[in-house]
Amino acid sequence: MKITTEMRNELVSRALDARQNAYAPYSEYAVGAALLADSGAIFHGVNVENAAYPSSMCAERTAVFKAVSEGARTFTAIAIATDNGGSPCGACRQVLSEFGLETLVILINGEGDVTLETSVGELLPEAFGPRHLVDR
């Protein structure tokens, strides 16, 4: 999905800012996400690690769950800031795909450079989704 250059830059900035709040004392791999809902609202997320490692949560899913908790269901774009432009893990791709394969995904490195622009559908081809459960 297309967004204005202004909004793209805003999302990049918000993801970089959010990254400052990441709680990643174990991996030291801080991630910040800024998720733009179709309403225009922006939801932030960071990775939140835990001493019991599997209890940790990624920045992308934190942002999606915050947004959905506030009533948002459709998203235009998500910007994700990491040290090296890392892409969303499989679980985050699946969660993002639930709410739209067209959502723009913008990856950003620690210098603030956009390293990739793609879509959820491109990151998760042949995604299992709501359409597979319609007839149940």
Which C-beta is closer to Zn ion: that of 12 or that of 78? 78
18: nearest Cα among 100, 79, 88: 79
Give CA separation, 10 vs 3, 36, 108, in Å: 11, 10, 13
Q: Measured from the CB of residue 88, what is the shortest distance to Zn ion in angstroms?
A: 5
Question: Of 36-75, which residues contact Zn ion (CB under 5 A)?
Answer: 58
111 counts as catalytic: no
Report the residue number whose CB is nearest to Zn ion.
Answer: 58
For residues 33 and 79, the answer to whether their CB atoms sit within 8 Å is yes
For residues 46 and 65, the answer to whether their CB atoms sit within 8 Å is no
Catalytic residue from among 49, 60, 111, 117: 60
Residues annotated as catalytic (active site), given as ranges: 60
Q: Which residues of the chain form contacts with Zn ion (CB under 5 A)? A: 58, 89, 92
